[in-house]
A and B are shown apart, each in its own frame.
Chain A
Amino acid sequence: MNFPILSSLILLPTVGAFFLFFTRSNKQNNFTVKYVALFTSFVNFLLSIYLWILFDHTTSEFQFVEQRIWIEDFINYKVGVDGISILFILLTTFITPLCILSVNNSIKERLSEFLIAVLIMESFMIGVFCSLDLVIFYLFFEAGLIPMFLIIGIWGGARRVYSAFKFFLYTLLGSVLMLVAIITIYWLTGTTDVIELYSLGIETKYQNLLWLAFFSSFAVKTPMWPVHTWLPDAHVEAPTAGSVLLAAILLKMAGYGFIRFSLGLFPVASEVFTPLIYTLSVIAIIFTSFIALMQEDMKKLIAYSSVAHMGYVTLGIFTIQQQGIEGSIIQMISHGLVSAALFLCVGVVYDRMHSRLINTYGGIVSIIPKYSVLFMLFTLAALGLPGTSGFVGEFLILMGAFKDNFLVAVIASIGVIIGAAYMLWLYKRVIFGKLINNDLKKMIDLNRSESIILTSLAIPTLFFGFYPDPLINTIEVSISDLIETYNFRLASKI
């Protein structure tokens, strides 16, 4: 272990951003700027693939661990990956180049600043997924607010200011309590090192409050009902690339946090609060699915469907069953791919017609057939058709849920039906039907970069739908170990 591969993954996008900072964006070198950003993020993707190849999935130990003294006697800079985190890193590095590729049509001004924000965002998010120290985790977790705030606020739609503020303040409010909890953990145990904390454990009497403090942060970020309201606003107003980042990666930070910290550090409290999570998840699944059914704005509909999907994720995590947690992680990865693709699909028609309202469209299947096929694929993946990655995740989650709590599982299964309803209805209204709006006839089908983006999202969606083994292999051992320690510590009450 000589080459600091994780630190390189974190730093590389920032270095790219640094280069971009000195390349002013104007008409001529717009391409240079874009290629620099694309190149950086693509190299980062290759690096993460290399990481996956080197990754040893037969052990649940943290690998590629790097440790440096950061603040003497207090905090170490410590990063490492295990089966749970590596997939999120891959997702991040995979989505970012696609995001950058997609800015062609949507971002007209201040392109280089936008790309800088996206790259810095990538750095922070990779940092979140591989940090092994609570304080470092918090740093990355919070720092991500700055670029996202700017992405929504500068390049967003009409109500962007309101949405940007709502996004920032909601998530900040959720996170400050987590900071209190992190410092408290430091004073209780004398360390913020996650690996050490796993072995030390935290006294039972403190766990409930600490769990709630972490929960307040993750619940806002997930987002769980009833603190989900920032998400539709943020999504609707953000530019396409911003929505993609938000849906595909940002939301996963909370799910990851639940597995890594809530389950890992506070097993007793997690057991206590499982009914709370179940209730909120089920409400999120049913309630937001109904809300999604009523939306007239495509982006809003997908945003609400994200809330519902994240409801499955939290449900699966807290089943504490092998299948449940595996399903949650696969669901997060699949949702990362599918929701990114759906937002990009909306972006494609928005760039042409400048409307996100469903009733603007209708009957475009004959005008833009390529688009319609790909959109169909992602719609089906979103509702969890067998053969797409969405199915694997949902199926495993529900399997885990049936093992743990029959009633919850039954209600959650109803959500699948409503999910199918709103997705198919959306597809029907947009793509099929009579062509009423004559402006639609001028629409052109996918151009080259759009086809590349959507196809490269479609391939893994289908591939992992038919053959989820690579994903499951990677996470299996880590999760079974996690559950084992969880049950052990639950029994011994630490």
Chain B
Amino acid sequence: MTNLQLVFPEIFLSLSIMFLLILGVFKKNSSKIIQNLSLAVLLITAVITFNETISIKEVKLFNNSIIIDYLSSLMKIVTLLATFLVLIISSNYLRTFKIFKIEYPILILSSVLGMMIMINSNDLIVFYMGLELQSLALYVLATFNRDQMKSSEAGLKYFVLSALSSGLLLYGCSLIYGFTGSTNFNVIANQLGSSEYAITFGIVFILVGLAFKISAVPFHMWAPDVYEGSPTSVTLFFTMVPKVAALTVFIRFLYVPFLNLIDQWQMILIFLSIASMLFGAIAAIGQTNLKRLVAYSSIGHVGYALAGVATGTNEGMQSSVIYIIIYIIMNLGLFSCLLMMKRENQYYEKIEDLSGLSKNHPMLALSLMIILFSLAGIPPLAGFFAKFYVFKSVIEQSMYFLAIVGLLSTVVAAFYYLRLIKIMYFDKEKEKYDTDHGLWLKFSLTFSTLLILVYFIFPSQLIEVVSRINII
């Protein structure tokens, strides 16, 4: 029974999903109730995860196919809290587009369940199951605004390309299974010696699949279209939450079974990282749509997070986790601003729509400016520290090329962030936007901005939390 207790968060979440589904079917007009219940479920799951598992060093369950350790507990809590914030700030947006339906929170909950399983996985099959559960829910979410061509297109594109990458990933899994005789990470780790080259093929295929999920260059092509086409609230979800799960799997997959093959995968990761940082920075320059711009910027940020993983050290991996957490906070603020740019039931998402924001909405513009400077990595804001930790661990491994290219691409990236600030602050104002935003939207913007702004006063806290991760 003690075993089941450890997966109680997942069990609770899946039971709640089923209950909410039934409730939604039998009760008319229940979208509001279901939204609130889902929020409660997310919080309760987070609390349960915190209570049951945060203090556990490492336990493997169900024939070693699931692992509960500090990394998985931390990442699950991050996922759940981020989802909570996403869900709570998107309700106004959904109402405006008349897509405030019961399916929305339920789909989000199911994809979160998938992510939690991914994060827990210590076995290729469990990992794949979690991944597919997550992806299936995300396909539907991308098309959630059915009446819009772009949304349907985004969902379809995402589905086709994602299915392709899942195929590659599965092929990699089967190769690894074929040459090691097991799908369990620990068993694989013990069977490595004999057929290194064949296994390398497997690793490459799996990395391709994972790189696709985390939208690293050169497997990023879906991201801008899907981010642009999906409803903004879903884009917000896309840019934040699945990346946490995918990064965890990246770490687990590379560090547990294949740490000894670091020479084989390190080059691939360095390439993914450099390509993402550079491409994200350069391609974003020409964008005119804010959501597309965010897509490219998120590609760039994924590159920085992967740079930490590429070091193959505990510090590097921890710095990636720090990076992704700070990135989530910055993104939350950025999208809160996007969701505030509403006038007469229409949302504006072109870059020009920011024009002169500082005159009409000084506080909104100030927050957005702080967030953008932080995304650009200018001290003393939180974004700088995220990059700083990553490069600290990268330079420790004497990977100077990666560090220098990474830092130079921050300069390029600074250009397009500055352009947004320029449009907000230096250009002529346009019409005012509505100011009757929901309380939670205001809260999430204030919360993330303040966190970014004062992070430098308490930098040790986050490090302390993250430094307990230890999987090597």
- Listed in ascending order, the chain A residues whose CB lies under 8 Å from chain B are 69-72, 135, 138-139, 142-143, 145-146, 149-150, 153-154, 160-161, 164-165, 168-169, 172-173, 176-177, 179-180, 183-184, 186-187
Contact = CB atoms under 8 A, between A and B. Distances in A.
A142 B378 contact: yes
Closest 10 pairs (CB-CB, A-B): A176-B407, A139-B379, A183-B395, A142-B379, A173-B411, A143-B379, A72-B460, A71-B459, A153-B426, A172-B411
A305 to B, nearest CB: 29
A71 to B, nearest CB: 5
B147 to A, nearest CB: 40
A71 B460 contact: yes
B410 A176 contact: yes
B158 interface: no
Given A72-B460, A142-B384, A168-B418, 11 more contacts: A70-B460, A71-B459, A145-B378, A146-B378, A154-B426, A169-B411, A176-B408, A179-B391, A180-B403, A180-B404, A180-B407
B425 interface: yes
12 contacts: A72-B460, A139-B379, A143-B380, A153-B422, A161-B426, A165-B415, A169-B411, A173-B408, A176-B411, A179-B407, A180-B403, A183-B391
A169 B407 CA distance: 12
Most chain B beta-carbon neighbours within 10 Å: one of A176, A180, A187? A176
B164 interface: no
B378 A143 contact: yes
B405 to A, nearest CB: 11
Nearest to B404: A180
A70 B391 contact: no
Nearest to B394: A183
Contacts of A160: 426
Contacts of B407: 176-177, 179-180
Nearest to A170: B411
B434 interface: no
B197 interface: no
B188 interface: no
B416 to A, nearest CB: 11
A187 B396 contact: yes
Contacts of B373: 146
B456 interface: yes
Contacts of A150: 425
Interface in B408-439: 408, 410-411, 414-415, 418, 421-422, 425-426
Contacts of B415: 165, 169
Contacts of B418: 149, 164-165, 168-169
Given A153-B422, A161-B422, A179-B407, A169 B380 contact: no
Interface string B66-84: 0000000000000000000
B457 to A, nearest CB: 9
Main SS class of interface, B? helix
B463 interface: yes
A135 B411 CA distance: 19
Nearest to A70: B459
Contacts of A72: 460, 463-464
A172 B410 CA distance: 9
Contacts of A146: 373, 378
A160 B422 CA distance: 10
A164 B395 contact: no
Nearest to A145: B378
Contacts of B422: 153, 161, 164-165
Interface string B392-405: 10011000100110
A184 B394 CA distance: 10
B359 to A, nearest CB: 9
Nearest to A179: B407
Most chain B beta-carbon neighbours within 10 Å: one of A143, A149, A153, A172? A172
Contact of B400 (A149, A176, A180): A180
A139 B426 contact: no
Contacts of A145: 378
B425 A154 contact: yes
A176 B388 CA distance: 11
Contacts of B464: 72
Contacts of A70: 459-460
A161 B380 CA distance: 23
A142 B385 CA distance: 13
A70 B460 CA distance: 7
B459 A172 contact: no
Given A71-B459, A143-B379, A187 B411 contact: no
B404 to A, nearest CB: 6
B391 to A, nearest CB: 6
Contact of A139 (B411, B456, B460): B456
A87 B58 CA distance: 57
A70 B421 CA distance: 31
Given A165-B418, A186-B392, A139 B380 contact: yes
A168 B380 contact: no
Contact of A177 (B388, B404, B459): B404
Nearest to B376: A172
B309 to A, nearest CB: 18
A382 B350 CA distance: 50
B381 to A, nearest CB: 9
A70 B459 CA distance: 7
A149 B369 CA distance: 12
Interface string B13-27: 000000000000000
Contacts of B463: 71-72
A150 B422 CA distance: 9
Interface string B459-472: 11001100000000
A180 B378 CA distance: 15
Nearest to B422: A161
A143 B456 CA distance: 12
A165 B379 CA distance: 17
A154 B414 CA distance: 18
A439 B426 CA distance: 32
A69 B403 CA distance: 27
B410 A180 contact: no
B380 A180 contact: no
Contact of A168 (B384, B388, B414, B460): B414
A185 to B, nearest CB: 10
Interface in B11-47: none
Contacts of B380: 139, 143
Contacts of A135: 388
B409 to A, nearest CB: 10
Contacts of A71: 459-460, 463
Contacts of B392: 183, 186
Nearest to B362: A113
